[in-house]
């Protein structure tokens, strides 16, 4: 990303704070003039002292001079502190506000994207987080650099240079000539050090993650007696890091030395030049101090140039990833205009095929019907496409080809948010948010009363167990057992009260007892709704009114349990295998004894 492009992208975030920018700029301009006062006063003082001494006027004459300059310098310092405070404060305010807006906007953007965005490999949550953090950090640093660091320094530098030219064009030229040399050295320094700095950062990351993985794997390390090898690996990393560190320091010292040398040469030339003008009578002695101080003001900002150069470079690198996320406009979730009233829940899939964004084909020419108000079980081996089908019915993805109709209307035409209000989803593991049980249940309905929350928990067979906890509904929900967490998810759905429910292996991660306990909650939530369930539990499959059998992304059989079973095909095979694995005969014998 080029610097121009970067500013163009950043501008919309800075624009709302135009007045802050203008205020900062005005203060910067005033500050840059105030910064030259010392040089002017010094020249004035030296010249007058010189005058007084040469006229042998003594202390009395000098006193009024000292009083005058003290008052001027004091007044200037007072004004300067206000300017500096204002300038830093407004600059910082701008930086904080811009950073807040960037962070908020990226959250809003990311939440508006469709499922394919999150599942694509390049948007793994860890990578997204890093890109967003780095992007915001370097962008805000850029704003800060520009308004708080660079601009005032450069404004100082330019005013000082102008004053030098005003005093004498040769002196001005010396000041001006130093600038490109400085620029060149700083640029080389930034280029050379940039690589080292980046390597240093990755060493640090590796090193800290090294400790984490060591601790995580400490049981294995100890049981294989690999302590020595592991410590040697760390040592190698440490050595490389130390080398890198030494190189960085060495280079820094060399470049800093070079810059210092150039600066001193500049000062010497200015002294000689000014002394020449003093001697030939065209300048007073005070000019020497005046020029040296001005020259100092010219070089001060460019001494920091390599740091600024580096940070701008960083901003250009990191902001690219950040703005890619911000501008992924075609990833926005699609939505139609149709706002459903009550949904009955009859889904018809016509020639639906679907391929995941990464190119994995998951469904092929699927034709199936989900009856309204009935329970449909999706059966098939793992990887057959059952969850994918639910993803399509929930509009998380759109079919690659073919259509899905809900109550006779194309799913694409539905307003996505309104549609999802009528649809509930229980997964194998449902996310429990940080917070109390009550808050977690109320996620299904904001502003639910406590009575409503309790009622939902009762329906989900959770209420009694919550009452046993020390803090009851205020207890931390993440401390609940797996089965209880599933019931929190079901209670959420009771509050939401959707007409269609998708259950994707709701008991798969639970043990037998928890599965048995949760069965009643599931039975309750299924009542009088359209239900699509994926399950490996034979009892949940038998309960279904209709079975849809999937094999390698195709629907191979569909109908009632009896009809499909009698076909003697894929379903029979799966069903028999499930039944045999239960070892029903032995179970029956045990139960009869
Ligand atoms: P099932 O639910 O029947 O076990 P899935 O619907 O999860 O099967 O998977 C069907 C196919 O789609 C599999 O080949 C799986 O690897 C692939 N798949 C599932 N999710 C994704 C995804 N997010 N990205 C790419 N491929 C996926």
Q: What is the pLDDT of residues 479-532, one digit of tens each?
A: 777 778 888 888 888 888 888 889 888 777 767 776 777 777 778 777 888 889
pLDDT of residue 209: 63
pLDDT of residue 101: 92
| pTM over cut 0.75 | no
Which atom of ligand 1 sits closest to the CA of residue 390?
A: 6
Q: What is the pLDDT of residues 558-591, one digit of tens each?
A: 888 888 888 888 888 888 888 777 777 777 778 7
Which atom of ligand 1 sits closest to the CA of residue 385?
A: 6
User: Do 497 and 438 touch, CB atoms closer than 8 A?
Assistant: no
Q: How far is the CA of 360 from the centre of ligand 1 (A)?
A: 8
Indicate whether residue 526 lines ligand 1 (CB < 6 A).
Answer: no
Domains of the chain listed by start with CATH number: 3-331 (1.20.1560.10), 335-422+500-507+527-593 (3.40.50.300), 426-497 (3.40.50.300)
Residue 116 has pLDDT above 80, yes or no: no
pLDDT of residue 1: 65
Q: How far is the CA of 362 from the centre of ligand 1 (A)?
A: 6
Q: What is the pLDDT of residues 352-372, one digit of tens each?
A: 899 888 788 888 888 888 888
Read off the pLDDT of each residue in 329-345 and give the average, rounded to a whole number: 77
SS (H, E, C) 435-500: CEHHHHHHHHCCCCCHHHHHHHHHHCCCHHHHHHCCCHHHCEHHHCCHHHHHHHHHHHHHHHCCCE
Indicate whether residue 360 lines ligand 1 (CB < 6 A).
Answer: yes
Q: How far is the CA of 501 from the centre of ligand 1 (A)?
A: 20
pLDDT of residue 71: 92
pLDDT of residue 100: 92
User: Do 436 and 475 touch, CB atoms closer than 8 A?
Assistant: yes
Element (H, E) at 80: helix 58-112
Indicate whether residue 380 lines ligand 1 (CB < 6 A).
Answer: yes
Q: What is the pLDDT of residues 290-321, one digit of tens each?
A: 888 888 888 877 777 777 777 777 777 778 77
Q: How far is the CA of 386 from the centre of ligand 1 (A)?
A: 8
pLDDT of residue 16: 92
> What is the Cβ-side half-sphere exposure of residue 152, based on CA atoms within 13 angstroms?
25
pLDDT band, residue 183 (cuts 50/70/90) = confident
Q: Whose CA is nearest to atom 1 of ligand 1?
A: 383
The percentage of residues in the chain with a pLDDT greater than 90, rounded to a whole number, is 2
Residue 140 has pLDDT above 80, yes or no: yes
Q: How far is the CA of 3 from the centre of ligand 1 (A)?
A: 42
User: Do 534 and 378 touch, CB atoms closer than 8 A?
Assistant: yes
pLDDT of residue 556: 86
Least confident interval from 25-34, 99-108, 512-521: 512-521
And the tokens for 3?
A: 């610097």
Q: How far is the CA of 387 from the centre of ligand 1 (A)?
A: 7
Indicate whether residue 386 lines ligand 1 (CB < 6 A).
Answer: yes
Which atom of ligand 1 sits closest to the CA of residue 356?
A: 25
Q: What is the sign of the dihedral through the CA atoms of 110, 115, 119 and 122? A: negative
pLDDT band, residue 123 (cuts 50/70/90) = low
Q: How far is the CA of 353 from the centre of ligand 1 (A)?
A: 13
Read off the pLDDT of each residue in 332-354 and give the average, rounded to a whole number: 83
Indicate whether residue 428 lines ligand 1 (CB < 6 A).
Answer: no
Between 8 and 205, residue with greater pLDDT: 8
Q: What is the pLDDT of residues 218-260, one digit of tens each?
A: 888 888 888 898 888 888 888 888 888 888 889 888 988 888 8
Read off the pLDDT of each residue in 87-103 and give the average, rounded to a whole number: 88
Q: How far is the CA of 355 from the centre of ligand 1 (A)?
A: 10
Which atom of ligand 1 sits closest to the CA of residue 381?
A: 3
Residue 399 has pLDDT above 70, yes or no: yes
pLDDT band, residue 121 (cuts 50/70/90) = low
Alpha carbon distance 71, 67 (integer Å): 6
Q: Whose CA is nearest to atom 5 of ligand 1?
A: 385
Between 452 and 97, residue with greater pLDDT: 97
Q: How far is the CA of 533 from the centre of ligand 1 (A)?
A: 16
């Amino acid at each position: 990303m080029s610097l121009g492009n970067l500013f163009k992208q950043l501008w919309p975030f800075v624009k709302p704070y135009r007045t802050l920018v203008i205020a900062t700029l005005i203060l910067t301009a005033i500050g840059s003039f105030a910064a030259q006062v010392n040089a002017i006063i010094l020249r004035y003082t030296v010249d007058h002292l010189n005058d007084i001494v040469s006229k042998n006027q003594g202390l009395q004459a000098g006193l009024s001079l000292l009083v005058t300059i003290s008052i001027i310098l004091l007044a200037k310092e007072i004004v300067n502190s206000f300017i500096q405070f204002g300038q830093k404060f407004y600059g910082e305010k701008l930086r904080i506000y811009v950073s807040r807006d960037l962070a908020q906007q990226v959250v809003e953007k990311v939440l508006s994207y469709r499922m394919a965005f999150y599942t694509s490999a390049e948007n793994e949550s860890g990578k997204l987080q890093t890109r967003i953090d780095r992007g915001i950090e370097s962008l805000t640093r850029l704003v800060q650099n520009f308004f708080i660091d660079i601009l005032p320094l450069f404004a100082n530098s330019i005013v000082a240079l102008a004053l030098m030219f005003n005093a004498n064009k040769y002196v001005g030229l010396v000041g001006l000539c130093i600038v490109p040399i400085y620029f060149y050295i700083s640029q080389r320094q930034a280029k050379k050090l940039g690589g080292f700095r980046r390597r240093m950062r990755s060493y640090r990351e590796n090193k800290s993650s090294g400790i984490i993985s060591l601790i995580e794997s400490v049981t294995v390390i100890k049981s294989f007696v690999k302590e020595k090898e592991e410590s040697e690996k760390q040592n190698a990393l440490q050595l490389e890091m130390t080398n890198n560190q030494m190189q960085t320091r060495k280079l820094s010292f060399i470049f800093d030395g070079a810059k210092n040398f150039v600066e001193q040469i500049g000062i010497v030339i200015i002294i000689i030049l000014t002394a020449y003008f003093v001697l030939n009578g065209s300048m007073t002695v005070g000019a020497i101090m005046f020029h040296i101080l001005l020259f100092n003001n010219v070089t001060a900002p460019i001494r920091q140039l390599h740091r600024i150069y580096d940070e701008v470079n960083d901003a250009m690198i990191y902001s690219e990833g950040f703005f890619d996320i911000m501008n992924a406009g075609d990833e926005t979730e699609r939505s139609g205009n149709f706002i459903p009233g009550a949904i009955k829940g009859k889904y018809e899939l016509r020639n639906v095929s679907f391929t995941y964004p990464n190119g994995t084909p998951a469904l092929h020419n699927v034709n199936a019907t989900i009856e309204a108000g009935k329970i449909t079980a999706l059966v098939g081996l793992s990887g057959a496409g059952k969850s994918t089908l639910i993803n399509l019915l929930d509009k998380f993805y759109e079919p690659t080809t073919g259509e899905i109709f809900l109550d006779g209307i194309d799913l694409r035409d539905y307003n996505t948010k309104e549609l999802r209000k009528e649809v509930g989803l229980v997964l194998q593991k449902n996310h429990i948010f940080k917070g109390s049980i009550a808050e977690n249940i109320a996620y299904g309905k904001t502003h639910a009363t406590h009575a409503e929350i309790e009622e939902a928990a009762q329906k989900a067979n959770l209420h009694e167990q919550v009452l046993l906890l020390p803090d009851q509904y205020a207890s931390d929900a993440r401390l609940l057992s797996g089965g209880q967490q599933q019931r929190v998810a079901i209670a959420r759905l009771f509050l939401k009260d959707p007409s269609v429910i998708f259950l994707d292996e709701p008991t798969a991660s639970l043990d037998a007892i928890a599965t048995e306990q949760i069965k009643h909650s599931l039975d309750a939530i299924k009542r009088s709704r359209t239900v699509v369930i994926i399950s490996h539990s034979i009892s949940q499959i038998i309960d279904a009114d209709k079975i849809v059998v999937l094999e390698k992304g195709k629907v191979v059989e569909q109908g009632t349990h009896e009809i499909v079973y009698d076909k003697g095909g894929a379903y029979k095979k799966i069903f028999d295998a499930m039944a045999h694995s239960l070892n029903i005969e032995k179970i029956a014998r045990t139960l009869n004894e």
